Structure 1
Amino acid sequence: MWLLEQQSPAGSWGEGPAPYRLLPTLAVTEALLSTLRNGTAAAVSPQRLAAAADTGLTALRDLCSTGGWPDTAAIEILVPDLVLLINEHLNQSEVAAQHRLGPWARGQRLPQPCGFQAALPERIAERCRAAGGVPLKLHHTFEGIARHLRRMVPSVPGGLLGSSPAATAAWLATGTDSGREQAVTALTAVADRYDGLFPEASPISVFERLWVATALARPGLPTVCVPSIRTWAAEIYDATGVRGAPGLLPDADDTAMAVLVSALAGVPRDPAPLAAFEAGDHYDCYVGEDTGSSTANAHVLQALTAWLSHRPTTGDALQTRRDGTRDWILARQQPDGAWHDKWHTSPYYATERCVTALSGHTGPTTREAVRSAADWVLATQREDGSWGVWDSTAEETAYAVCILLKSTDHAARPDATAALRRAEHILRDASSSSGHHHPALWHDKTLYAPQAMAQAEVTATLELLLTRQL
């Protein structure tokens, strides 16, 4: 019922512009067709399911020709698999014809969206069969290859596969017995926590605590928080690399943030685990990554800078790595002054991360980059005083305010002061409103919103802004 209520008037599902709606609309439409095909609808009539599926298919027909797809997790695998599965459902006469699915009952089928390869899920599965197992990298998005593996499935020692409810459900559908009870228990616990619904990933306690801690540290860690954050840092730091959540690969982003948080809490830890992610002049977020992340490298730069401030005699090699990472980040600034990244829809997030990392460095090139970013922020403020890539949001306003506060060239400029004054009420309202809901702007398989992280950014930035005004 919840899924039916979330369908837009245009027939699609999901948040954000059209390209972001492709994957969620495919997923929900496939689920509706599967339910109709198997006759498993309970509280909802088949007629209502069919009507929703029909409008979903019509929306997909238009979405498939849109293009400009986001760089979300495994979209190149998940999309073609869902298109194939939807067409398999439609090829069953009892689905399309019996439920009167318009042109779909007369043979119309979904095309593969531009840029996607129908054969890719099977090719990935074949590589897994040849290797004799499913690599950890594919666990989080296992649902994209599950039905192609012919019962060769990864083991789940306990909890969720790849920290993903969807991947775990796909794993359970393979009929495997080992670990089944633990997986069902873990899924039930997630559903209980989220009132019967399932998030993109669970738990995100590592990722969440690190980002919250760095946000709170921006205006200066409150004394009362230090013991807790030191405990977090001790629990999270791993000499072999930090994982964003259980069941995921170690990554440079979380590893760097663990090093940074340790330093901010006054208990610096060696950044040596980052060496595993070195990729020439920058750091891969994951070993073997296809596209580099500006924000992950910004966090690495912050981590290395923080470590060297505590251990300035560590050696020239680490300083060389730090300076090379700084230069790589500088080279990725856009002509308008912004940065972009694959983990977040908003350039305000990526730009704030890069500006914050660069602000600890001197030199005309770095100063010019920060100045250019601040000019871009001033040029894109909305009439109500906020910022946002799609709509006004408190989270993005917090990032924009931080960028202006970091720019020494803008410290005394009247236009920057006026912009900050106009933004203050946005941050105040979000901080004072209990249960303020931040929209989904972060990338996983689709868009999601880590509420605690966004709220920490708003709270910390408001404190910074008020301190500046004293």
Structure 2
Amino acid sequence: MNEWYEPGGAAVALATAGEDQPADDTRTDEATHLIAAVDADGWGRVRPSLYETARVLSTAPWLPGGRTRVDHLISEQAPDGSWGEGPAPYRLLPTLSAVEAALAVLRRDKPADDTANRLAAAAARGLAALRALPPAGPWPDTAAAEILVPGLVAAINEHLDQTPVGDLPHLGPWHRGTRTEVPRGYHAAAPEAVARRCQAAGGIPFKLHHTFEGVAGYLPHTLMPTVDGLLGSSPAATAAWAAAAPSPGSRQHAARELTAVAQRYGGLFPEAAPITVFERLWVAAALARPGLPPSCLPTVRTWVDRIFDPEGVRGAPGLMVDADDTAMALLVAALVDQPLDPAPLAMFDNGRHYDCYIGEDTGSVTANAHALQALQAGLHHRPEAGATYGPTVRRVADWLIEQQQPAGYWPDKWHASPYYATERCVTALSSLGDPRGRKAAEAAADWVLASQHDDGSWGIWGGTAEETAYAVKILLTQPRHAEHADALDRALDRALSRAETFLHETAHNPDHRHPALWHDKTLYAPEAMIQAEVIAAREALRTRHG
């Protein structure tokens, strides 16, 4: 057995205790209700996206419900004129999307005076907000921002340049000749350059389907992709495809798919639909750590049977197969005592670590942490496979440790908060039985202890229940000293007690709303997955009392 694998480690023991471990009735009820709600929902629980809704409003004027989308765009504008969630750099893309959509409606539809006045005022304030953004970021590493941002800037400038001043009288000082600049760090030629590469290759890479709206206007009709369902699981990409594709059948297909999504989201659109694979795997993995209620096991096992594919798992229809979802399917299968062959992960192995998907530009520590957890959980059931997978476990663990920041945390491209990535890495490394893994987990715990807010929470932009749940799990990986409580134990106890109070208060606050921290094209909040993490953290805190 290799030095990195310790059979029956703490993380695995917790994960597989669901059928024997008694649970608090409240926690059991919460977990059971959540599993049932997720199972009954064919779409997944996520709020509509301002960015995506504005893209559909702009490119699919033929789709019913435009007035609802116009009203939503106007009502969601912040007092400073921007749109979106999070700090200023995250507001760049949704603000560009909203301004472009407002200008498109004004220019194309010539709405009645009241609507025109409201849209023009919103667009003017949005243009001012864009000018007030930091000129050089730093900009977040969200999906395809390098083509989406300059493409929208070009579209806004076209509206302002090409429309006679008299056609946009409500814009006040914004008139012909006004320019919106491409922010530093982005390149105006990027969308066209990507489109040229697609033409040279004779097709659209699968990884561009989800953000197809970024290149649709630069491609010839002959290069339009074939679409089954939503293109790349994205309403914006699908609407852009229908606008660029010349056949009536394309619009009919897009109308059918977009109407179904609009009915689920009240005329608005999320950035991906449906998200049931992604949601079910993350919910199941979170709740399995403290032990799934026995009544939930058949449902989760059914999820695994339906989701797992030996060719690789994709997070939503129309997306690429990826290591993250494949690893999570393997992990959940092992946690509910249905271990599967981890061979599908091999297609993502680049020799040092796992690529999240084929053609990835920047590696993901959370995808690799999930793969490491999946391999360990599988070895718990089949230790004889250690000779085959032990070297991979060691290699991926080494890579994860190399990515740790000097302060003790890990960042990742799929989430704005380092607490998410750090918890994933600590969970993967803390049960390896190796001094380097333990040292990395200790450094992470020190960082967590030093960053707790006064109210007992954790969070990069203010305390949240989600980030507090991750921080709690990091601290609970630290070993306790049996002989006597030393200073570190006392600090851990104080931090965890304060966190427990915070989580209890937020859980009983009907007005509490989980902020958007997850990365796609913009920030989003997968509600059920966040709820599962909080339930699991509260249960772990309860069991810590003995």
Settle same-fold status: TM greater than 0.5.
yes
1:70 aligns with 2:146: no
**Equivalent position SS for 1:141:** helix
Q: CA contact under 8 A between 2:331 and 2:374: conserved in structure 1?
A: yes
**Equivalent position SS for 1:279:** coil
Q: CA contact under 8 A between 1:47 and 1:99: conserved in structure 2?
A: no
1:462 aligns with 2:523: no
The one of 125, 142, 147 aligned to 1:55:
125
Offset of residue 58 of structure 1: 1.1
The one of 3, 9, 23 aligned to 2:93:
23
Tell me, in whole angstroms, the C-alpha distance in 1 between the residues paired with 2:422 and 2:232: 30
Aligned pairs (5 A) from 1:92-107: 92-94=162-164, 98-99=168-169, 101-105=171-175, 107=177
Q: CA contact under 8 A between 1:89 and 1:95: conserved in structure 2?
A: no
Aligned pairs (5 A) from 1:263-342: 263-314=334-385, 316-342=387-413
Deviations 1:299-355 (A, max 9, x none): 010011111222222253421011100111111111111111000000110110001
Deviations 1:107-144 (A, max 9, x none): 23011110111111112112222222222111100110
Offset of residue 410 of structure 1: 7.9
Aligned pairs (5 A) from 1:109-148: 109-148=179-218
Offset of residue 433 of structure 1: 4.5
Residue 447 of structure 1 corresponds to which residue in structure 2? Answer: 523
Q: CA contact under 8 A between 2:445 and 2:478: conserved in structure 1?
A: yes
In structure 1, give the amino acid aligned to 2:220: R
Aligned pairs (5 A) from 1:398-413: 398-408=469-479, 412=485, 413=489
In structure 1, give the amino acid aligned to 2:79: P
Q: Please, what TM-score do these two structures have when normalized by structure 2? A: 0.83
Residue 219 of structure 1 corresponds to which residue in structure 2? Answer: 290
Tell me, in whole angstroms, the C-alpha distance in 2 between the residues paired with 1:43 and 1:134: 42
Tell me, in whole angstroms, the C-alpha distance in 1 between the residues paired with 2:202 and 2:247: 17
In structure 2, give the amino acid aligned to 1:133: G
The one of 303, 315, 318 aligned to 1:232:
303
Tell me, in whole angstroms, the C-alpha distance in 1 between the residues paired with 2:85 and 2:166: 28
**Equivalent position SS for 1:105:** coil
Out of 144-153 and 103-112, give the one that drifted further.
103-112
**Equivalent position SS for 1:139:** helix
Q: CA contact under 8 A between 2:161 and 2:178: conserved in structure 1?
A: no
Residue 371 of structure 1 corresponds to which residue in structure 2? Answer: 442
Tell me, in whole angstroms, the C-alpha distance in 1 between the residues paired with 2:116 and 2:251: 30
Deviations 1:377-428 (A, max 9, x none): 1111111111111011100010001111111158951111111111112222
The one of 199, 205, 227 aligned to 2:276:
205
Residue 106 of structure 2 corresponds to which residue in structure 1? Answer: 36
Offset of residue 196 of structure 1: 1.8
Q: CA contact under 8 A between 1:22 and 1:63: conserved in structure 2?
A: yes
Alignment CA distance shift 1:409-1:104 (3 Å): farther
Alignment CA distance shift 1:423-1:64 (3 Å): closer
Alignment CA distance shift 1:305-1:87 (3 Å): same
Tell me, in whole angstroms, the C-alpha distance in 2 between the residues paired with 1:288 and 1:170: 23
Out of 443-452 and 32-41, give the one that drifted further.
32-41
Superposed CA RMSD in Å reads 1.8
Deviations 1:67-125 (A, max 9, x none): 10000000001001001111111102425874253553262301111011111111211
Q: Please, what TM-score do these two structures have when normalized by structure 1? A: 0.96
Tell me, in whole angstroms, the C-alpha distance in 1 between the residues paired with 2:125 and 2:139: 21
In structure 2, give the amino acid aligned to 1:457: E
**Equivalent position SS for 1:406:** coil
Tell me, in whole angstroms, the C-alpha distance in 2 between the residues paired with 1:23 and 1:96: 28
Out of 126-135 and 388-397, give the one that drifted further.
126-135
Q: CA contact under 8 A between 2:107 and 2:168: conserved in structure 1?
A: no
Aligned pairs (5 A) from 1:159-170: 159-170=229-240
In structure 2, give the amino acid aligned to 1:7: Q
Offset of residue 288 of structure 1: 1.9
Alignment CA distance shift 1:378-1:186 (3 Å): same
Out of 59-68 and 414-423, give the one that drifted further.
59-68
Tell me, in whole angstroms, the C-alpha distance in 1 between the residues paired with 2:185 and 2:147: 11
Alignment CA distance shift 1:308-1:90 (3 Å): same
Tell me, in whole angstroms, the C-alpha distance in 1 between the residues paired with 2:113 and 2:259: 20
Tell me, in whole angstroms, the C-alpha distance in 1 between the residues paired with 2:108 and 2:481: 63
Alignment CA distance shift 1:408-1:95 (3 Å): farther
Offset of residue 218 of structure 1: 1.1
Amino-acid identity (%): 61
Alignment CA distance shift 1:96-1:288 (3 Å): farther
Out of 342-351 and 304-313, give the one that drifted further.
304-313
Tell me, in whole angstroms, the C-alpha distance in 1 between the residues paired with 2:112 and 2:263: 21
Tell me, in whole angstroms, the C-alpha distance in 1 between the residues paired with 2:126 and 2:133: 10
The one of 172, 178, 181 aligned to 2:242:
172
Tell me, in whole angstroms, the C-alpha distance in 2 between the residues paired with 1:41 and 1:425: 52
Alignment CA distance shift 1:165-1:42 (3 Å): farther
Gaps of 5+ in 1: none
Q: CA contact under 8 A between 1:36 and 1:95: conserved in structure 2?
A: no
Deviations 1:18-48 (A, max 9, x none): 1100000000000011111113536952122
Residue 108 of structure 1 corresponds to which residue in structure 2? Answer: 178
Q: CA contact under 8 A between 1:18 and 1:66: conserved in structure 2?
A: no
